[in-house]
């Protein structure tokens, strides 16, 4: 879901984006418009908006056709599915809610000057209390094996010299799966 976060367009092509000129001002304007409205209502109101295109692109990128067919078992074609997933289904509302949170975070990040940087921690990296928070709340005791990152749960952010820790899942020796 965070793929493309570090780019102003967040994975949308130049033609799909609306911001021109002062990008920080445009991002702030879009942020304020977005947070003052219900995300579902925004999609209903303007299906050609940048936010609507973002939701559709992320849906296509993330939802595997097998998952899609199990959710929408009576539908045959991708185009039909794309039109139907805009319905008021619980799955779609949950997806839009998640997309809205990430879209809002992205617009907030790009309203700063300099832009907020996002980072994710790779699997197998040694745990660092400076850049990471362990979601399991395990603590590395002296003399024990260093804990390793299995996966990033929530990415971290850098705002100037300030670090907001990445939340990670740790393992003592090796991650499985």
CA distance 94 to 74: 21
CATH number of 117-171: 2.30.22
* Ranges of CATH 2.30.22 domains, the chain: 117-171
pTM above 0.75, yes or no: no
What CA–CA distance (Å, rounded) separates 157 from 166? 7
User: What pLDDT is recorded for position 85?
Assistant: 47
Higher-confidence residue of 14 and 58: namely: 58
Instruction: Give pLDDT, residue 152.
Output: 93
Question: E strands, the chain, where?
Answer: 117-119, 132-134, 148-154, 156-159, 162-164, 166-171
Q: What is the pLDDT of residues 37-61, one digit of tens each?
A: 899 898 888 888 888 888 988 988 8
């Amino acid at each position: 879901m965070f793929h493309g976060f570090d780019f102003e367009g967040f994975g949308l092509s130049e033609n799909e984006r609306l911001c021109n000129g002062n990008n920080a001002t445009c991002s702030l304007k879009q942020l304020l418009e977005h947070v003052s409205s219900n995300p579902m209502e925004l999609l209903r109101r303007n299906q050609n908006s940048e936010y609507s295109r973002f939701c559709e692109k992320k849906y296509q990128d993330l939802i595997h056709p097998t998952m899609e067919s199990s959710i929408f078992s009576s539908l045959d074609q991708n185009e039909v599915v794309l039109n139907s997933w805009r319905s008021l289904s619980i799955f779609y509302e949950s997806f839009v809610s998640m997309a809205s949170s990430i879209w809002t975070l992205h617009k907030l990040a790009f309203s700063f000057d300099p832009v907020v940087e996002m980072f994710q921690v790779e699997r197998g990296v040694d745990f660092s209390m400076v850049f990471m928070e362990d979601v399991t709340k395990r603590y590395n005791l002296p003399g024990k094996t260093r804990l390793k990152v299995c996966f990033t749960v929530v990415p971290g952010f850098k705002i100037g010299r300030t670090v907001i820790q990445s939340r990670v899942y740790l393992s003592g020796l090796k991650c499985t799966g």
